[in-house]
Structure 1
């Protein structure tokens, strides 16, 4: 049969114009029909172009390492390792010869290697991979390429591949990496617009809900979904592209140059994304923004991009929505020690690395960067230090209107459009969103705590291990300890205790630094049903042993004394196994837990609320006393702090406080355990370590005691400080002047000051108050409190003529009383206080309550200084002196030789009170500062006359306790004060002026 189209095509060219149009139409129709048929049959036009040659030089479970143009790469060439993103095939770097990334770089004289993750849906275990698996694979590839080439490599990645590169560099601390080159790799996920039509508030809620389920543990995203999702990000562009393609099907020559790229994006370019990797990405990168704030976990190590110090070049697409320029540029803040350079391109996300534009503009600049790093050329003019980038890419009006309109149509809300204008405000808002409603289970448990309730530190850790075995329990140094690992360690230590002969109800001394072994030991003692006696290492061990009543003392190896303690078996735990110890010491690490049989009486976590969990110490020397902490008392503090601090499992509590200090045990450590949060122990107290570990752990909450934040708040600014993840400083005893400095320097982070009565269940916190010095109000579920009138002569309760106490009006100092259950035996219990048959506990502390109902600690009643003019609060004097800008630390105290007036001449009648003390003070100034007479006088005039110190000494140093409380030891204890090494100011006889002593 004769084909009419062939007949038409054979018609002579010399025909009329109308015939020509008919023939041309017929020819175009023929081509179109053929192209459509080919498209329908094969999914596109057939092309006979070969991909770039490569050798697979290594094949590992997670990846294969490709070496491109291996036969054409002579030794000595600079090595580039390319990392593809998830969801896209490795061939993104070699889509077509005309737009091939690997070919373009190879032609510039670069040795090209590519990490091939394969198609997870076709790989054994591919759909079980985590983000960490990919990062470790990249790190392993760096080792292999470095070994093969004998030189450091340039590590490069596109989109998520760039994130893998960043994390691998941080994981390796830059070892073996010459520089990093990334393309459209987003880092800051909270300051830039999302590539989806959803407000950040709604996104956070959806992500939280999804992460709260186990869905992602069982499903993955197939390749077709990833392709469809990407198209949904810009549906109009997708429709326009398809329409243009269909209209051009009559012009094969026009379509062929871009056909391979189109087929890549339409078909084989997409891969599946495993559920565990999605979960990790949502939680670490998106919800917690850990790429910027720190706290990433790779394998069993903590990682922060702040550890990167090698040069970084970022390729930024100004039209990129998936890797928005604001997010991509976040690497400068995430890695403050790294020199960051930028190549700014007028391109979208895919066009940065693929297409003719990338071959002309991106890859030649990358090659020039590599040559510059190799010392063979100059830095390209198009690549500039990020500080010099003038491009101000933000949401365009079209972006804003389209997204806002879509959000409104979806009924989601538009408040985030305004919130995104300020990054710090956005971060704070997101924190509030994440915390919404999360504290209800804690509050419910707090409200249900009774004396008979089964509760203990061992029980709560057990629950976390069962609820989230692979969750992170503890971080220390570079180590990550998961709940299941901690549970196994605790069980092993329990066996060790049993082998020592420890039984339920026994007391065990603990003298250890804050480290994983100390937490495991305290938890094991609790799980066994024994009691931990937490010693203060700097105090007399024999006195603490006598007061604590323990038969076993377990310490770090470095704390072992040469001589034994009478009546006490010394043991060591942690610190490795290969060591030589004294004969009187038992090494618990040598005990094989599998060889120890559990006795018949052993039942894990037998403690109830009324049982004694811990013994702490107060006082010194002959005044050494014990404080007994019941499990209920510990749980009240732990659950109360967790709820007040809005701690969540993904948060990190960074504890800088010794474990034997109440604020560490009851608040920092207790709160993290109660909330199932990540707990991190500081490895050293210095400022550099603090900021390095805050970034590495992603610390959202930091514990403090007294002046422990002095160096942090007053020292030079650290690079990691700029993007601090800290939301709350949690602790007790912070002086007012330090509190102000912390507020000013670390805003929007704030101080959450706690008070816990030495005995009883009064637990206060300034949850909503922002008043400096306030400890707020009682936490839900804790005891009701009142401030009662104080008898200034006896320092006890003042009773009225009816025999009852009276509550103090706002502003009047009085004794803090905590309502108590009369059925529960307790020290300092008083009955019939405000009404017949009521029961209250004396806390022994003096408080004031303001008109809003917020409480402020003045001083312990026995710390008030008895002067000839009445009782004086040393804390009020210290806080007043702290208002002077030059004062770093201040202490006020009494010395013998009290007199009626400042000059020591007695009262108005000439009488002397030899039992009274003189009020004196000492101040340590900031380096290079001086204390002027005007500053001292103007500040002291704000105080009542009896609170103005007789003498103020400017000293070089004020000693601090191990938990940073200012001490008077080493300061002058008599009048006249010695002048050597000090500047002395004395109150004049007018009670107003200060004169410098000569």
Structure 2
């Protein structure tokens, strides 16, 4: 009975204790306690933050330099700064101090109680961190170790990149994701997450804010198992006050006190820049109007990784080693979830002592052995796991706590959900791509001659839909859609002021720069025709083919434009530039015109251009003659939307425009595709490989637009300098030789090449989306005009007919001339063939010759005018250049014809890599893929091959020199043996003899 009585008494006492403690929790929010806090003083107060210095009395200075290394701790936006000082004995500030470090904390306060706090964005926080670093350096005389938990660690990375590591001794992060799309909570599909983030950022959170209770709920929902387990443990031990008190401060912090409101603009930026667009990995995020990339971090980095962290998942945290290739990156793995990295016993025993050991090791000179480094810290290796692998292994989950999963009763459900999501990822990706592509194709399908569509109109639509969206980047600055649209309108007013009217042909003679893009768009908005003039020798012939009397030029092109005898309108060049216009009556400085004083005439209607209207005039050289190519709005839109669809361009992409704007590939493909796809356009000055290496990570370039052999200058040195983990996913353009294509995909792996062909006559647009056929032009894009190959006799220049007198369609492997069909309600070009394949049909002929392979892919082999008419029959130049260009020793090739002995001789010129030589046997191997009749009679090694302004190899200069003479590096094709040999007088004579 005594034992029974004690049992009853214990039960009663337990019930009473539970009731008493429970009532205290209900009344006070927790158990009454007086946890010891670490002492601090507020060193600096600003509208954005208060800067705390902990244990200020214990730091001493010698000659103005503190005797302890300083560390600045950054909290996430949704957590109070007390996260680093929940208790004196286990908090980060206290433990770091005990281990010889000088802890500082930046306290952003709660935005809902700070003046203007709810309008804060991410940049405000990063600039604030940078200012705090300056203050600490001034006070301590030492460089600062920057550290942050969760999003605070993201701030640390971003601030280090913003400062380009200046004044920083290192960066330390705790569960801070970098590759956010590699480790999404709950295994969410990337497409769903990015689209959801974009939607929330643009339409919801930018106008609202997240209150403290919402931040707390969101954080807890990200780790529901941990939350449920903690609450269950608390209720089970509610009777035992002594057991609960040591953890009560931590519980109250995580359950209630530790959370603060989250400003809406900051959430929107986080979602858009770092989740939807993953720009911590790609680079190109915007801080205070400046473009920044983690690739600019050069100080050492230490990342703490939780083995069972479902918020800062290991694979996401380890993205830093790829994103910051210039930094020495270390990691410290912990058997912990997200909260446990900085709060609790694991943090007190491992995180903070490990942080201190790394700081002191770095301060002592890392490798000199005077400081002991935690044995849990190792260099981080790039994660090479399978896509979708978060890095949280089954083993680590089980070892961390099977009881947590089983007690909560939701572990199995979560695993099943994860498996289901994994199975459906591909379907989601397909649906996402369809959702992005179908509206573009539908817009093309609905286009009629009277449909209003133009370059200027698409830019206006972007400005209306997303005024703060990023339109283009140039020299580290970001130009928003709204700012660009306003600049276009201002230039339109200036054009009206000087008398430019709708329908006028106005020349544009400018380098690739923002003002050139704006000038072209302004002419489009006005309804005028932008005549994109070539620089150099082609300018005068081009001018003679148009009715241009006014030229828009940049300051550097004034002289060249003035010599053409036209009125010159000077645009761009910066706010501070001054033009000397004395004696130049025909030169007008457009920047001096005040747009607010210009009265718009009644005839002006913004963006009046219809699909059938002439939009641009471009120029190309054919047979040594400059030809004008007239591009309608429909033709431009076809290429723009087709490129956006084929390259899957979206608002997460940044298209780096290496292509000159006066080349069709520049305006129709790269700029057009970016505008149609909602991607950012990254403009660069004159093409420079060193600048390419610098700008790609800073701008976060995902797509590079090229033309012809432009990439040749990048595959040698730029690719290694850029590193293996560059952000580029694709190269788009036209004219890339097959050998160069293979080199590009090899050195810039895993990036791929998408080659386009767009005839300036008609509506033919082809794209090679297959990665298995370098050199092919691919197949017609949906929405473009149907194309056919007409059997064509290149010797006589006539079409081949069938027995009914209709043109015969070229068969598989047969050379034919590419024709594009004239569609109903389509603007009809000047040259149209009718009654071609059937009575009454209408087709637009191109200048280009193709053949069709067995899979239905088109291969371009030459132009009609460029075929070499040799003694053995026609020789097509492009297959020759491609075959020779595939030799590993060859860096460039061009084929051309030389008049000799009443016929032409096919000659190829090649450049060779320094230190290499080409032998006759190499040439035999290279041309073995060509039919005997399509091999060059002579192959010569030259020092360099001239190229046009848009990097197309030119053989006309070599052709003018005639048939090469015998000498070193000159080889001739021996018809009798079928092999190449060093050219001799006898072999040279046989090459021009009719067999």
* TM-score calculated relative to the size of structure 2: 0.90
Asked whether the 8 Å contact 1:562–1:582 carries over to 2, the reply is no
- Aligned partner of 1:48 in structure 2 is 34
- Deviation, structure 1 residue 748: 4.0
Worse-superposed segment, 798-807 or 408-417: 408-417
- Deviation, structure 1 residue 54: 3.0
Matches within 5 A, 1:819-858: 819-820=821-822, 824-858=827-861
Matches within 5 A, 1:768-847: 770-820=772-822, 824-847=827-850
Q: Does 1:521 align with 2:519?
A: yes
| Cα 1:876–1:622 shift into 2, 3 Å | closer
- Aligned partner of 2:927 in structure 1 is 940
| Cα 1:25–1:955 shift into 2, 3 Å | same
- Aligned partner of 1:927 in structure 2 is 914
- Aligned partner of 2:578 in structure 1 is 579
**Distance in 1, Cα, partners of 2:428 & 2:971:** 51
Worse-superposed segment, 919-928 or 463-472: 919-928
SS at match of 2:537: coil
- Aligned partner of 1:435 in structure 2 is 433
Matches within 5 A, 1:462-473: 462-473=460-471
Q: Does 1:284 align with 2:282?
A: no
**Distance in 1, Cα, partners of 2:897 & 2:126:** 61
- Deviation, structure 1 residue 195: 3.2
| Cα 1:30–1:460 shift into 2, 3 Å | closer
Matches within 5 A, 1:215-614: 215-375=204-364, 377-378=370-371, 380-382=373-375, 384-387=377-380, 394-397=392-395, 405-406=412-413, 413-415=420-422, 434-561=432-559, 564-565=562-563, 567-576=565-574, 577-583=576-582, 584=584, 585-614=587-616
**Distance in 1, Cα, partners of 2:478 & 2:500:** 30
2:940 pairs, out of 935, 953, 963, with: 953
SS at match of 1:752: strand
| Cα 1:834–1:270 shift into 2, 3 Å | same
Runs (5+) with no aligned partner, structure 1: 1-14, 420-425, 899-913
SS at match of 1:445: helix
SS at match of 1:196: helix
SS at match of 1:99: coil
**Distance in 2, Cα, partners of 1:554 & 1:379:** 66
**Distance in 1, Cα, partners of 2:793 & 2:721:** 53
SS at match of 1:857: strand
- Deviation, structure 1 residue 485: 0.5
**Distance in 1, Cα, partners of 2:608 & 2:229:** 69
1:977 pairs, out of 957, 964, 983, with: 964
| Cα 1:642–1:717 shift into 2, 3 Å | closer
| Cα 1:602–1:294 shift into 2, 3 Å | same
- Aligned partner of 1:63 in structure 2 is 49
**Distance in 1, Cα, partners of 2:382 & 2:818:** 59
- Aligned partner of 1:97 in structure 2 is 88
**Distance in 1, Cα, partners of 2:926 & 2:2:** 106
| Cα 1:934–1:405 shift into 2, 3 Å | farther
- Deviation, structure 1 residue 975: 5.7
* TM-score calculated relative to the size of structure 1: 0.90
Asked whether the 8 Å contact 2:861–2:878 carries over to 1, the reply is yes
SS at match of 2:753: strand
| Cα 1:416–1:132 shift into 2, 3 Å | farther
Residues 740-776 of structure 1: per-residue CA shift (max 9 Å, x gap): 2233344443222111112221122224574222222
**Distance in 1, Cα, partners of 2:475 & 2:648:** 25
Residues 57-91 of structure 1: per-residue CA shift (max 9 Å, x gap): 43434333223334544342232211101221111
- Aligned partner of 1:10 in structure 2 is none
| Cα 1:820–1:174 shift into 2, 3 Å | same
Matches within 5 A, 1:697-716: 697-715=699-717
TM-align CA RMSD: 3.0
| Cα 1:239–1:394 shift into 2, 3 Å | closer
SS at match of 1:564: helix
1:750 pairs, out of 741, 749, 752, with: 752
Asked whether the 8 Å contact 1:848–1:857 carries over to 2, the reply is yes
Asked whether the 8 Å contact 1:306–1:720 carries over to 2, the reply is no
**Distance in 1, Cα, partners of 2:619 & 2:962:** 33
| Cα 1:889–1:538 shift into 2, 3 Å | same
**Distance in 2, Cα, partners of 1:304 & 1:431:** 27
- Deviation, structure 1 residue 329: 1.7
Asked whether the 8 Å contact 1:510–1:532 carries over to 2, the reply is yes
Q: How many residues align?
A: 956
- Deviation, structure 1 residue 649: 2.2
**Distance in 1, Cα, partners of 2:314 & 2:187:** 18
Residues 331-370 of structure 1: per-residue CA shift (max 9 Å, x gap): 1111000111223333332222222432333223323333
- Deviation, structure 1 residue 287: 3.2
Runs (5+) with no aligned partner, structure 2: 386-390, 985-995
- Aligned partner of 1:9 in structure 2 is none
- Aligned partner of 2:694 in structure 1 is 692
Asked whether the 8 Å contact 1:184–1:349 carries over to 2, the reply is yes
1:130 pairs, out of 114, 121, 131, with: 121
- Aligned partner of 1:904 in structure 2 is none
**Distance in 1, Cα, partners of 2:847 & 2:541:** 24
| Cα 1:445–1:19 shift into 2, 3 Å | closer
Asked whether the 8 Å contact 1:476–1:515 carries over to 2, the reply is yes
Worse-superposed segment, 817-826 or 849-858: 817-826
Asked whether the 8 Å contact 2:321–2:381 carries over to 1, the reply is no
Residues 188-245 of structure 1: per-residue CA shift (max 9 Å, x gap): 22334x332645565456546655x612234443333333343344444434333333
| Cα 1:685–1:122 shift into 2, 3 Å | same
Matches within 5 A, 1:615-654: 615-619=617-621, 623-654=625-656
| Cα 1:433–1:175 shift into 2, 3 Å | farther
Matches within 5 A, 1:13-32: 31-32=17-18
Q: Does 1:988 align with 2:957?
A: no
| Cα 1:610–1:187 shift into 2, 3 Å | same
- Deviation, structure 1 residue 306: 0.9
- Deviation, structure 1 residue 495: 1.9
| Cα 1:924–1:404 shift into 2, 3 Å | farther
Asked whether the 8 Å contact 2:189–2:428 carries over to 1, the reply is no
Asked whether the 8 Å contact 1:205–1:433 carries over to 2, the reply is no
- Deviation, structure 1 residue 983: 0.5
Q: Does 1:112 align with 2:103?
A: yes
Residues 780-821 of structure 1: per-residue CA shift (max 9 Å, x gap): 222111111112332232234533211111110111111125
- Deviation, structure 1 residue 385: 4.5
| Cα 1:416–1:225 shift into 2, 3 Å | farther
**Distance in 2, Cα, partners of 1:267 & 1:872:** 80
- Deviation, structure 1 residue 578: 3.0
- Aligned partner of 2:165 in structure 1 is 174
- Aligned partner of 1:74 in structure 2 is 60
- Deviation, structure 1 residue 405: 4.6
Residues 903-953 of structure 1: per-residue CA shift (max 9 Å, x gap): xxxxxxxxxxx1x11111111122322223222113323322221221111
- Deviation, structure 1 residue 663: 0.3
**Distance in 2, Cα, partners of 1:562 & 1:808:** 46
- Deviation, structure 1 residue 701: 1.8
Q: Does 1:965 align with 2:952?
A: yes
SS at match of 1:722: coil
Asked whether the 8 Å contact 2:896–2:956 carries over to 1, the reply is no
Worse-superposed segment, 464-473 or 616-625: 616-625
Asked whether the 8 Å contact 2:551–2:561 carries over to 1, the reply is no
